[in-house]
Structure formats: structure tokens, C-alpha cells
Amino acid sequence: MRAACLIFVALLSAVGTYAGTTHRNAGSKYFDEADRILTNNSNANITALAEKGWAAVRIAGPADPSFLEGVYTAARIFGVLGRELRVESVYAEAMTTCEGPALEVMRARLRLMLARELIGQRQNVKAEGILRSALSKEERLSHKVFCMWRLFNV
């Protein structure tokens, strides 16, 4: 039963991915090539393709609707290569590009994506620190929103 549930969840995830619900990101050309190479040779060195893809995603920046997907794909490929520190730096660089109040939600999503990645790497202490920081920032933001609401509705 448990295996059937896992297969069902995997199929639902695949349907969402291939049904056109995800956008192609700026680095897709490089990431797709890296995936094709890895399919044929799991020991291939695709670092250069991953770096080119990540550079394209960074150049497109957070204004690109598929920026988060590009960050995730770059991190995934670096993770497959066993470059966990590079995965963390991808997320750190992405968060740096999301400065300003208008991009606070995207920065929060990136923090959660990084925490999920760290949990997958069994780095729970680091993940907990990121989640605590994210929660603290969320609480401060909600407090500001509540104060602004009270200011205008009194």
C-alpha cells in the first residue's frame, strides 16, 4: 500500500511537470543537455554546463517568471554532482538578487527551498537555523502588516 501511494504521488508530480505547468527557465538549454549527458553516463563531468545554466538564470534574474525553477534546477544538478557547498551558494546568490521589499516573498521561498535541500542532505541543524530565521522574519512582517492595518482602520 505504501509503495502504491509513493507511485501515485510520483505520477501526480510528473503530470504537473509535463502538463506545461512549469515554465522553461533561462538555463534550460544547458540544464537539459546536462540531464541528457547524465542519462547516458552518470560519471560525466557536466559542471561547465551547470555553471552556464546557472549563469543564464542569474542574468535573467528574479524578474523572470521561472527564476525559482531555474534556481532549483541548478541546485539539483550541482547536488547530483556531489557539490553540496555549491548548492548552498546557488541559493545564497539567488537570495542576494532578491533584495528589496518587493521581492521579500521570493526570498522567503528561496529560504524554504534551501532548508528543504539541507534536510535532504541531512543537515538538519543548518535547516533549523534557516527555518527559525524565516519564521522570525515572517513574524516581523506580519506584525508590520497588522500595525499598518490598525493605523488605517482606526
Tens-digit pLDDT profile for the chain (154 aa)?
444 333 433 434 443 444 344 558 888 999 999 999 999 998 889 999 999 999 999 999 999 999 999 999 999 999 999 998 999 999 999 999 988 888 888 888 898 888 888 888 888 888 888 888 877 776 666 655 555 555 566 5
CATH value of 24-152 in 2.40.50, 1.10.3470, 3.30.310, 1.25.40: 1.25.40
Residue spans per domain, the chain:
24-152
Listed residue (130, 108, 46) closest to 80, CA to CA: 46
Q: What is the pTM of this model?
A: 0.71
pLDDT on residue 76:
94
pLDDT on residue 112:
87
pLDDT on residue 152:
62
**Grid coordinates in use for 102?**
518587493
Q: Give 111-122 pLDDT, tens digit per residue.
A: 888 888 888 888
pLDDT on residue 92:
94
**Grid coordinates in use for 42?**
552518470
User: What are the distances in angstroms from CA 51 to CA 34, 55, 57, 103, 117?
Assistant: 10, 6, 10, 24, 19
Each residue of 83-115: b (16+ CB within 10 Å) or e?
bbebbbebbeebbebbeeeebeebbbbbbebbb
pLDDT on residue 148:
52
